[in-house]
């Protein structure tokens, strides 16, 4: 929790910089637009039936509602429980929209690092395959919580020539946990390569500056390079 809190603080401080200066109008508008887009996407996801998308919000809400009602009864207070499910989903969607806005430019930077990595290591086919798998791993992980194409397919459907599904529910849950750990380890292993691609942005900026007309002071050139490091 301490690491997550520190990471959120750093992201928030970087995000607030776009709203303080006059020169960050484009970045500010991008953050606002992406925030509303992610808010809309989150609201669409939250209205999907739990039988199609395993969010676990229904079970969590029922459990919390029951526990809160019992606590209020023991205190001699009459209540129907916490806020309604609609209000809970609305605030959860706002939180998702805020996170989406915070990760807008970090996400774009990661995509740029991935693209540069593919260019630098274009002759290493195995590394390119591993890097692409790592890049799309979040999408693959999300698909494991889409019931019709993952859980039902592996734990319910019985293929021809078989008498039982490929997996039990317990094994499928274990499989999801293993894939999450594997995806995290894969990103850690590739981190030095991506960081090197990020540092190479300084060289790219110098090469771009060489092609531009006019003069530039040493201080301005150092500022462009120091932004990367």
Within 13 Å and on the Cβ side, how many CA atoms surround 103?
Answer: 13
Joined tokens for residue 16 = 């607030």
Question: Smallest Cα–Cα separation from 201: which of 176, 166, 226?
Answer: 226
Specify the range with the lowest mean pLDDT, choosing from 54-68, 102-116, 127-141, 158-172: 54-68
Question: Smallest Cα–Cα separation from 114: which of 137, 147, 89, 144?
Answer: 137
Question: Smallest Cα–Cα separation from 99: which of 38, 56, 167, 170?
Answer: 38
Concatenating the DSSP letter of every residue in 45-83 gives: HHTS-TTTB---HHHHHHHHHHHHHHHHHHTT---S-SS
Residues 63-74 have pLDDT tens digits of 777 777 777 677
* Residues 166, 172, 178, 181, CA torsion sign: positive
Residues 213-223 have pLDDT tens digits of 666 666 666 66
d(CA 19, CA 127) in angstroms, rounded, equals: 39
How far is residue 177 from each of residues 107, 156, 174, measured CA to CA in Å?
A: 24, 19, 5
Question: Smallest Cα–Cα separation from 145: which of 135, 154, 136, 158?
Answer: 154
DSSP 166: S
Q: What Rg, from alpha-carbon coordinates, does the chain have?
A: 24
Joined tokens for residue 70 = 């019992």
Is pLDDT of 80 > 60? no
pLDDT given at position 40: 92
Residue ranges covered by each domain of the chain: 1-107, 123-228
Map tokens 């303080």 to a residue. 20
Predicted TM-score of the model (pTM): 0.76
pLDDT given at position 157: 82
The mean predicted confidence, pLDDT, of the chain is 82
Contact 113, 193 (CB under 8 A): no
């Amino acid at each position: 929790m301490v690491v997550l809190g520190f990471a959120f603080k750093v992201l928030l401080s970087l995000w607030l910089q776009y709203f303080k200066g006059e020169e960050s109008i484009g970045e500010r508008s991008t953050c606002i637009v992406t925030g509303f887009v992610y808010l809309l996407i989150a609201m669409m996801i939250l209205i999907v039936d739990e039988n199609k998308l395993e969010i676990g919000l229904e079970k969590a809400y029922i459990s919390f509602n029951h526990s809160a009602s019992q606590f209020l009864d023991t205190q001699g207070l009459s209540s129907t429980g916490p806020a309604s499910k609609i209000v809970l989903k609305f605030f959860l969607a706002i939180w998702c929209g805020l996170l989406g806005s915070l990760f807008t430019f970090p996400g774009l930077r990661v995509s740029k690092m991935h693209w540069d990595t593919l260019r630098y290591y274009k002759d290493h086919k195995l590394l390119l395959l591993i890097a692409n798998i790592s890049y799309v791993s979040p999408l693959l992980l999300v698909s494991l919580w889409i019931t019709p194409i993952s859980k039902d397919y592996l734990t319910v459907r019985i293929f021809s020539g078989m008498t039982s599904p490929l997996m039990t529910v317990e094994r499928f849950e274990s499989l999801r946990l293993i894939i999450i750990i594997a995806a995290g380890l894969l990103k850690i292993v590739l981190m030095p390569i991506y960081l090197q691609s990020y540092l190479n942005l300084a060289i790219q900026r110098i090469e771009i500056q060489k092609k531009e007309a006019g003069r530039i002071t040493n201080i301005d050139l150092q500022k462009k390079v120091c932004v990367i490091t």
